[in-house]
Amino acid sequence: MSTQDTLQDSIKTTTIVIADDHVLIAEAWSFLLSQFKEFKVLKLYDNTQTLLDELKELKPDIVILDVNILPFSGLETTLLIREILPDTKVIGISMHNEIGFANRMLENGAYAYITKNSHQDEMFHAIREALEGRTYICKEIQDKMK
């Protein structure tokens, strides 16, 4: 076994669930994240009811959550996730690039906000920041804040 293999084996695996009502978007994020040994996507959801029903069982480290999903919006669901599993970190994702959406997600307990225009590196950065207990807002929104 090489030093590289040993190093990879010692990296903690971050468990992730993705909830987005656009299945192709969820599948794309799952594929991108699965390219890294440090991430393990447990399940994809196309609605928040099923996500909430199964959350306690899965106990993911990260929930990547679409803001415009039903039956409960990402804003509502973030509050519920924080109540059910306070240690699980939520990353909001949306096509909306308004500062207000990002602020509301963070106020409701999300650790990060990424637009669907964001580069994949921003998602990886957001996940790592959230795991460290820090917040992250994508560059597209940061630029609007200036």
Q: Structural domain boundaries of the chain?
A: 3-145
Confidence at residue 29, expressed as pLDDT on a 0 to 100 scale? 96
What is the percent of the chain with per-residue pLDDT over 90, rounded to a whole number? 88
Task: Name the percent of the chain in helix, strand, coil, to the closest 5.
Answer: 50, 20, 30
Whether residue 94 has pLDDT greater than 50: yes
Confidence at residue 3, expressed as pLDDT on a 0 to 100 scale? 42
Average pLDDT for the chain: 92
Rounded CA-CA distance 33/96 in Å is 22
Whether residue 30 has pLDDT greater than 60: yes
Q: Which fold has domain 3-145?
A: Rossmann fold (3.40.50)
Neighbours of 56 (CB within 10 A): 9
Confidence at residue 12, expressed as pLDDT on a 0 to 100 scale? 85
Average pLDDT estimate for 122-127: 96
